Amino acid sequence: MPRKRIAPSEPMRQSLEDFLSGGIRQDESPTSTLLNLAAKVVLQEALEAEQRDVVGRDRYERGSDGTYRNGYRPGRVEGAEGRIEVQVPQVRGVPG
């Protein structure tokens, strides 16, 4: 059975929704956890939107202009709440 491919922002958004609806573990700072999860979702969705704008189409839509998605690579952003891990989309065939 083929594996369903999902955008990296989807599990991040689900983690945020789980946190908001499911309560807080005793060893977590609720404010810090909320800020970290929210920042991850916002950054990841911004990266995915930028990729969509550069390529000019959504995920799995075909195009004939020679640009295409080529997976993701790990990335990180340092912020006030610490390091935020994201998946940076890769695009090939973008004119200089």
pLDDT tens column, 29-51: 888 888 889 999 999 999 999 98
The pLDDT mean for the chain works out to 84
Helix, strand, coil distribution of the chain in percent, nearest 5: 40, 25, 35
Please give the average per-residue pLDDT across 8-19, as a whole number: 91
**Hey, where are the domains in the chain?**
9-60+67-92
CB 5 within 8 A of CB 71: no
DSSP letters spanning 40-52: HHHHHHHHHHHHH
pTM beyond 0.85: the answer is: no
State whether the Cα torsion 3-71-58-20 is positive or negative.
positive
- 25: pLDDT confidence band, cut at 50, 70 and 90? low
